Amino acid sequence: MQILATLSNMKDVAALVDLESGEAARIPVRPEFIDAEIKESNPCRPFGITWTSDVLYVVNNKQLLMYDRTFDYLGTHAVPVHENTHQLAFHDGFVWAVSPRTNSLIGVRPAGEPGDEFDIFRQQRGAYVPRSSSEQDDLKHVNSLLWTDSKLYIAAHNFGPSFIMTFDSASLRLVSLMQDVGGSIHGLAIDGDELFWLDTEGNAVRSSGGVHMTLQRTGFARGFAMTREHYIVAISEISDRRSRISGDAYIHVIERASGSLLAEHRLIGTGNVNDLRLLDAFDLAHGVDPFKTAAAV
């Protein structure tokens, strides 16, 4: 299995990691990815990852970076998003970005047509109009999303006790609100009717079905993929926001059935991992067909 993990070190957009061999390659930051006008977060902060059949997208603050199937840079999408944008997912013809500072999902069409926006707390969908935003506008720090055919799940870090919202994917009306899910949560995955996530504050993988599996390394757990057999979790060093550009991170491959740690891969000098996606197998935390086949990796 191979993952792509976005990084905080201001030198690399992401690391490609083979989870069997531990071999890793880096995708470098280009000068145009650094936005000196950004003051409230790092001027280069690659985060969410998603793809269509032939283009891979990585969000970097306001930029939606585009790569081909060999991870060569194609350009930046014409439609800007917002500073500190978090997870991405492709659904129903849109690349959807979780935007904490606008408390919304921003949907951008790959071909560049006008986008849509879903105001999460007003439960309203309309045309997306690019505009300014600030950290003070971040109400609940929504950070993760997961689409299925019938549901949209959104996780809110909430600066403490977190919660997960479930919406009908067609009407975008709120169906349920799940609380008591831990603190500062990140990542969502689903297997059947059971929802999984990272309880970052509690250093555990948890689920709506009662899974509560403590991770075997203490740190900042953010970056989550899941197959029928495995959890893949990124664990970074705990540090203040400005210091997250330095230090190492670890990728854990965990057997779901037993909770056994099957492999630990150390990523040296990456700073914090922001997000990760499984590239060559179906990722139950993404819900999009794999970008690469296992034979091609």
pLDDT digits (tens, 9 = 90+) for 3-18: 999 999 999 999 999 9
Q: Which of 12-16, 40-44, 176-180 has the lowest mean pLDDT?
A: 40-44
Query: In which domain, by residue range, is 105 found?
Result: 2-296
Looking at the chain, the whole-number percentage of residues with pLDDT higher than 90 is 90
Q: Which residue has the higher pLDDT, 294 or 261?
A: 261
pLDDT computed for residue 297 by the predictor: 36
Per-residue tokens: 170: 């067609």
Res. 294: pLDDT tops 70: no
We report the CATH number of the domain holding residue 284 as 2.120.10.30
* Distance of alpha carbon 273 from alpha carbon 287, whole angstroms: 21
Confidence of residue 202 (pLDDT cuts 50, 70, 90): very high
Residues 249-258, mean pLDDT to the nearest whole number? 98
Q: Structurally, how many domains does the chain consist of? A: 1
Res. 296: pLDDT tops 70: no
Q: What angle do CA 107, 164, 109 make, to 5 degrees?
A: 10
* Distance of alpha carbon 234 from alpha carbon 221, whole angstroms: 6
- Cβ contacts of 104-112, under 8 Å, gap ≥ 24: 105/145, 105/154, 106/81, 106/82, 108/64, 108/77, 108/79, 108/81, 110/52, 110/55, 110/77, 112/77, 112/78, 112/79
